[in-house]
Each structure stands twice: as C-alpha cells, then as structure tokens.
Structure 1
Amino acid sequence: MRLFARLIILLLSLSAAACATQPPRFRDEAAAKLDQLKLEGGERLRPAEYASVLQAFLKGDAYLMESEQEEADRYFQMTILKGDLLAQEVAAEKARRLAEAARLAEEQRRAELERLARLEEERLVKAQAAEKARREAAEAERRKVRPVAKEPVLVASWTVRRGESLPLIASRPEVYGDRNLWPLIYRANRDQIRDPKHIWPGQVLRVPRNAGRDDFAEARRYAQDHPLH
C-alpha cells in the first residue's frame, strides 16, 4: 500500500514537472509580433509605445523563468494586444507621412511652376521693352532731320581754270548747275570768246543773272542744236 502511494506521488510529480516545462501558449505569437513591429518601423516611429510592448514581453519572460506560466501568458497576451494597437498606429503614421510627403512635393511642384512662370513673364516683359525701344529708336532715326545741303553762293563771274569748258562751267552749282545753259555765258562774253569751243585759263567770264525762263529754255534748245564735243 505504501509502495502504491509512493508511485502515485511520483507520477503526479512527473506530470507537474512536464507541465512546467511546456512553453506558454502565447509566447511565440508575442515574439513574432515584436519582430513584425520592429520590421515595420515601430521602434523608430513610436519608440515609447514600442518600449511598452517590449516591457510586457520581458515581464512575461521573467514570470516564465519563475515557472509562473499562467502569469507569463497573461503578459504575452498583453504584448500581442499592445502590439496590434501599435501596428495600427504605425500604419496610420506611415500613411500620414506619405500624405505629408505628397503634399510637400505638390507644393514644391507648384512653387517651381510659379517660379518658371514668373521668369517667363519677366522674359516677355524685357523682350517687349527691348522691341519697343528698338521701334522707338528706328522711328526717331526715321524722323531725324537730315542736314540740309547749303545752297551754293551764286557768282556773277567765273575765272576759267585749266581744262574747263563752257558746259563744265555752266554745270557748276555756283554758276547754273546745268551744263546746257552754257549759251548764256557764251553770249554774255562774245567780246572775248570767238569760238565757244575754245576758252583759256585766266579768262574772267561774266555770268548773267537777269536771264528769265524763256532765256533758259532757248539756251537749252541752242545747246542741243549746237553740242560742244
């Protein structure tokens, strides 16, 4: 009888020891949750919350070391619950940061477009101003008063130079400015010109100034009929 009782006690002790060595139900899931949070950036994005989850897991391990499996599982379950909440917060924070990055990128894009638009507007204004200045300069140049040629001083006499002829003298601006009016000079100086084809340097010839329109017309006809070659 005593032997049987001892066997029962031994079996119960072995059964209790076997139960004590079995791992808690929720430790692996809690450990996986911690790893997932770390991979998703929970430690970086929510350091305080991640530390709270880790602390719950470490307490579970501490109870497990003391063979208090039930209490350990309670902390491992707490680790899982806190981990789920933190995972939601991390996802929301990532979404918020993505939205903020997109908003900043859009603002930068709009700012760049506005800057380019201002530069283009400034370029157009400068180009228009330059074109206006060019047109005004061209108009001013067009309207600029040209220097008026001085009217030649008409002479009443002419001293013959070497190589000159009556048509050449008549063509001088200060004489008549018309070579075909040479007969006027010839007729006024018949006393010293026998042949209109021959004049000599040094001769002082009178230049008539009282000739009228008819005299000019008649002189031109005479010059055409009696060309001097």
Structure 2
Amino acid sequence: MSSASDSDTTASSGSTGPALISRYIVQSGDHLWGISGQAQVYGDSYQWPLLYKRNRDNIYDPDLIYPGQALHIDREASEQQIQLAIDHAKTRGAWALGVIEKSDIEYLNKALD
C-alpha cells in the first residue's frame, strides 16, 4: 500500500483506472518488483529497473529497500527506456543481498537519460 499525498498523484487522462502516483513511500515487506507491479505505479513488475534508475542516489542495492524510503516514479521514460528496463529485469540473473550485481551497474551506466 502506498503512502501518497494529493500532491503526489497524477490524474489518469480519461481512464477509469487508479490515479497514477509520482512518489511512493516504502512499507515493510516491499520490494521494487512488487511496487512496480502496482497499478498506480507502472502496472508491470518488469519495469522495476525504472524505479532503481530514478532513485539511484537513494538505493545502493535494488534488492534492499527500507520502510520509510521515498521513491520517485519516473513518468517521463521513453518507450526505449521502458524496453531497456524490461529487458534488464528479464535477463538480470541471480542476485545476492548487499551486493550490487554487475548487470545492475551496467544498466545504470547505459546512456539513455
């Protein structure tokens, strides 16, 4: 469940779905995969790398996020950036807590900002 104020929401243009949020407060048990999959975030768990990239200054390891962290949600990502994120999520491979995977570093360094 997200903790977003009125100023943190973006109206869905003409859709009947949930209002999109621009900021998410991490709750106990959350992870980027689950947050990304929420309808008011991206509605697609495979887009979690977009959250990681947008919040790279506040997330050391994408496998470790903490309750109370405020995550900004990228609403300006291009189709190419979204596809790159999905491709990374699908090919990332094994992960370990507390260690930044080489593929995550490579993803962050891609010149698509």
TM-score range, shorter chain: 0.5 to 0.7
Moved over 2 A (4+): none
Aligned length: 81
Structure 1 vs Structure 2: percent identity of aligned residues? Answer: 36
For structure 2, the residue ranges without an aligned partner over 5 or more in a row are 1-14, 96-113
Q: Which residue of 2 aligns with 1:153?
A: 19
Q: Secondary structure at the match of 2:20?
A: coil
Alignment correspondent of 1:98: none
Q: Is the 8 A contact 1:197 1:228 kept in 2?
A: no
Q: Please state how far the C-alpha of 1:228 moved relative to its aligned partner.
A: 7.0
Contact 1:169 1:175 in 2 (8 A): yes
Distance 1:176 1:216 in 2: 10
2 CA distance for matches of 1:179 and 1:227?
A: 16
Residue of structure 2 in register with 1:210 after alignment: 76
TM-score by length of 2: 0.67
Which structure: greater strand fraction? Answer: 2
CA RMSD of aligned residues (A): 1.6
Q: Could you give the per-residue CA deviations for residues 3-54 of structure 1, whole angstroms, max 9, x where no partner exists?
A: xxxxxxxxxxxxxxxxxxxxxxxxxxxxxxxxxxxxxxxxxxxxxxxxxxxx
1:174 pairs with one of 37, 40, 43: 40
Residues of 2 paired with 1:161 and 1:226: CA distance? 25
Listed as ranges, the gaps of 5+ residues in structure 1 are: 1-148
> Higher Cα Rg: structure 1 or 2?
1
Which residue matches 1:198?
64
| Structure having greater relative contact order (Cα 8 Å, sep ≥ 6) | 2
1:162 and 1:201 in contact (8 A); partners too: yes
Structure with the higher fraction of residues in helix conformation: 1
